[in-house]
């Protein structure tokens, strides 16, 4: 606890991660630390020497925390990282801002390009780390630079060209915590922006599960192929492990039917991978990040 003595943030011991994950599963975090601001985070990172025992989370919408819990400290950025500032030629957005809040704010200010984010759960930090995208857009297209803090507590600004954005990956080093981003400010028509958001939200409701406990796409799409189609064509649709099943609406989404644990979900994912490999020779890669002890 000495690491947090100067901190204004919140520190919780043995925190059940199922309270935060979209799957509502997962064991306890030995320590959950919610730094209130940059200084809080800096002071903790400067003093805590076991860097391997520090993990960061955003909205936990693409995350499976294993049932055995997570050793060390899980950092969740607090209120001082939840800001959107409008500068003359760009926007600065804190990493804990929710995607939907950023998208709505941009619509209000008639700034285009952020419409797709209203349908992706999670935070800007998580979305940049994952290079989230849908409807033909990816967050990398909105970025000018990303402000990170390394695990020693030092700040650095990474220009977009220095970041190796790829499909569902930013390539940002695991030793960096994203704390804010400078975003593009392209003016558009407020009516057109709002119309686009409505269209995307409706499309999403039709094609993907909502109001269920899920962690989004389970596997990334292999080149020129769709993971959901490979899963369907391999005959996995009705697979069940414990309380975990495949969504009826979208084969690449796993669902906690109410009594699944993380082991059920991970085992179901691995069962799907084996079947798809056996049937098609295609190796699916996990998009969902998995942390913790089995």
Ligand X SMILES: Cc1cc2nc3c(=O)[nH]c(=O)nc-3n(C[C@H](O)[C@H](O)[C@H](O)COP(=O)(O)OP(=O)(O)OC[C@H]3O[C@@H](n4cnc5c(N)ncnc54)[C@H](O)[C@@H]3O)c2cc1C
One of 9, 35, 58, 80 touching ligand X (CB under 6 A): 58
Distance CA 42, CA 220 (A): 34
Under the criterion CB under 6 A, does residue 69 sit at the interface with ligand X? no
Q: Closer CB to ligand X, residue 128 or residue 276?
A: 128
User: Is 223 labeled as catalytic in the residue annotation?
Assistant: no
One of 29, 63, 147, 284 touching ligand X (CB under 6 A): 63
Under the criterion CB under 6 A, does residue 216 sit at the interface with ligand X? yes
Residues 10-39 that bind ligand X (CB under 6 A): 22
| CA-based max dimension of the chain | 56
One of 17, 34, 41, 57 touching ligand X (CB under 6 A): 57
What letter does residue 166 receive in the DSSP assignment?
A: B
Nearest to 20 by CA among 245, 215, 263, 178: 215
3-state secondary structure of 58: coil
Q: Choose the stretch contacting ligand X; rule: CB under 6 A; options: 33-41, 131-139, 184-192, 220-228.
A: 131-139
User: Is 224 labeled as catalytic in the residue annotation?
Assistant: no
* Number of shown-chain residues binding ligand X (CB under 6 A): 30
Q: Choose the stretch contacting ligand X; rule: CB under 6 A; options: 33-41, 54-62, 66-74, 262-270.
A: 54-62
CB count, 10 Å around CB of 134?
Answer: 15
CB of 46 to ligand X, least distance (A): 18
User: Is 66 labeled as catalytic in the residue annotation?
Assistant: no
Q: Closer CB to ligand X, residue 2 or residue 123?
A: 123
CB of 125 to ligand X, least distance (A): 3
Q: Which residue has the tokens 């109001």?
A: 211
What letter does residue 284 receive in the DSSP assignment?
A: -
Q: Are 118 and 201 in contact (CB under 8 A)?
A: yes
Q: Closer CB to ligand X, residue 27 or residue 125?
A: 125
Under the criterion CB under 6 A, does residue 94 sit at the interface with ligand X? no
Under the criterion CB under 6 A, does residue 7 sit at the interface with ligand X? no
Token pair listed for 85: 């500032």
CB of 177 to ligand X, least distance (A): 5
Distance CA 29, CA 75 (A): 10
Distance CA 281, CA 72 (A): 38
Alpha helices in 208-283 (DSSP H): 227-233, 262-280
CB of 258 to ligand X, least distance (A): 16
Catalytic residue among 18, 61, 96, 217: 217
Under the criterion CB under 6 A, does residue 221 sit at the interface with ligand X? no
Distance CA 62, CA 21 (A): 8
Under the criterion CB under 6 A, does residue 4 sit at the interface with ligand X? no
Q: Are 26 and 15 in contact (CB under 8 A)?
A: no
Distance CA 217, CA 121 (A): 12
Dihedral of CA atoms 88, 94, 97, 102 in degrees, nearest 10, equals 20
Catalytic residue among 168, 170, 234, 273: 168
Where does this chain bind ligand X (CB under 6 A)? Answer: 22, 56-63, 77, 95, 120-123, 125-127, 129-130, 132-134, 177-178, 214-217, 289
Catalytic residues: 168, 217, 287
């Amino acid at each position: 606890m000495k690491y947090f003595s100067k901190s204004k943030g919140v520190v919780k011991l043995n925190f059940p991660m199922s309270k935060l994950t979209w799957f509502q599963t997962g064991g306890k975090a030995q320590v959950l630390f919610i730094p209130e601001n940059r200084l809080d985070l800096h002071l903790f990172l400067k003093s805590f020497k076991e860097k391997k025992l520090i993990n960061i989370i955003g909205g936990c919408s693409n995350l499976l925390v294993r049932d055995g819990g997570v050793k060390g400290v899980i950092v969740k950025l607090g209120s001082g990282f939840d800001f959107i500032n409008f500068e003359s030629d760009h926007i600065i957005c804190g990493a804990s801002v929710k995607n939907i809040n950023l998208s709505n704010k941009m619509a209000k200010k008639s700034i285009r390009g952020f419409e797709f984010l209203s349908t992706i759960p999670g935070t800007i930090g998580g979305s940049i780390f994952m290079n989230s995208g849908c409807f033909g857009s990816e967050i990398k297209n909105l970025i000018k630079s990303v402000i990170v803090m390394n695990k020693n507590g030092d700040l650095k600004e990474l220009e977009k060209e220095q970041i190796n954005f790829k499909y569902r990956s930013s390539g940002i080093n695991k030793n960096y915590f994203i704390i804010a981003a400078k975003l593009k400010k392209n003016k558009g028509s407020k009516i057109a922006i709002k119309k686009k958001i409505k269209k995307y939200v409706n499309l999403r409701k039709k094609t993907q599960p909502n109001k269920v406990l899920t962690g989004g796409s389970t596997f990334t799409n292999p080149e020129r192929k769709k993971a959901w189609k490979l899963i369907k064509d391999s005959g996995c649709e009705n697979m069940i492990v414990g309380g975990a099943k495949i969504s009826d609406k979208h084969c690449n989404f796993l669902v906690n039917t109410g009594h699944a644990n993380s082991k059920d979900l991970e085992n179901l994912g691995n069962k799907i991978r084996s079947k798809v490999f056996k049937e098609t020779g295609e190796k699916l890669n996990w998009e969902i990040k998995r942390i913790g002890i089995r």
